[in-house]
Amino acid sequence: MIPSAGRIVEVFVAINLANPLNAIESTPIMTVQTPAAATRRLILGSSSVYRRQLLERLGIPFEVMSPDIDESAHPGEHPAALARRLAREKAQAIANQLPADARHALIIGSDQVAVLGDQAYGKPGSHVKAVEQLQTLSGQTVVFETALCLFDAASARAYEELVSTEVEFRDLSLAEIEAYLAKEPAYDCAGSAKSEGLGIALLDRLSGDDPTALIGLPLIALCRLLRQAGFNPLTGV
């Protein structure tokens, strides 16, 4: 996939020559001048470094733009509906920023909430709130709802999926919670834990269809949506 003609863009490519089957490390950002003949652009509408790192695993050139939307829940809005709406609004917000000659892009929006009962838990944003979240989630089975929207700017069509991951937290002592956050301050993660890092030690069990969903960007679902939109991640067309 090549970005639009005549534009200088930031393109992210992931390569792991030692073992391409393992998690791939990010290479430095490359600035490239695109050729005159252009195809569809792929844009990740997110400021999350975790989502960017996940998308790099596919080895597809892409751009990153940060959406500016209000992420507040509507009154009475169910957590899963909130995640779906925010994923869609993030993608559409990026589409609205594009100039008319760049409206052939495919834009990825994603959002995640941790759900216990009818209560949604997003990013704690601070140490105090992270401790409170983990104390609440301790010993509980929590569902992480990860919403994905692939917005085709050319047709204004949105392809969407919701991927659920069931997570069982261990019974956690306050000392364990404090020790965890001291080593891995997961203040920017829904549920205050990074399952791809030390946060796995907080858990007893996980169950879901896509192991990357819990990190924030379900790649199995994304590849499926890309194919539906007419782009095959394997062949690049």
CATH of domain 8-116+143-164+209-228: 3.90.950.10
Q: What is the pLDDT along the chain (237 residues), one digit of tens a residue?
A: 433 333 333 333 333 333 333 333 333 333 333 333 346 889 999 999 999 999 999 999 999 999 989 888 899 999 999 999 999 999 999 999 998 877 789 999 999 999 999 899 999 999 999 999 999 999 999 999 999 999 999 999 999 999 999 999 999 999 999 999 999 999 999 999 999 999 999 999 999 999 999 999 999 999 999 999 999 999 887
Rounded CA gap, 38 and 34, in Å?
A: 8
Rounded CA gap, 220 and 16, in Å?
A: 20
Token output for 165:
């991951």
Instruction: Give the Å distances, CA to CA, from 18 to 8, 22, 53, 68, 95.
Output: 30, 9, 18, 38, 37
Spot the catalytic one: 68, 70, 101, 111.
111
Annotation marks residue 171 as catalytic: no
Write phi, then psi, for 19 (nearest 5 degrees). -155, 90
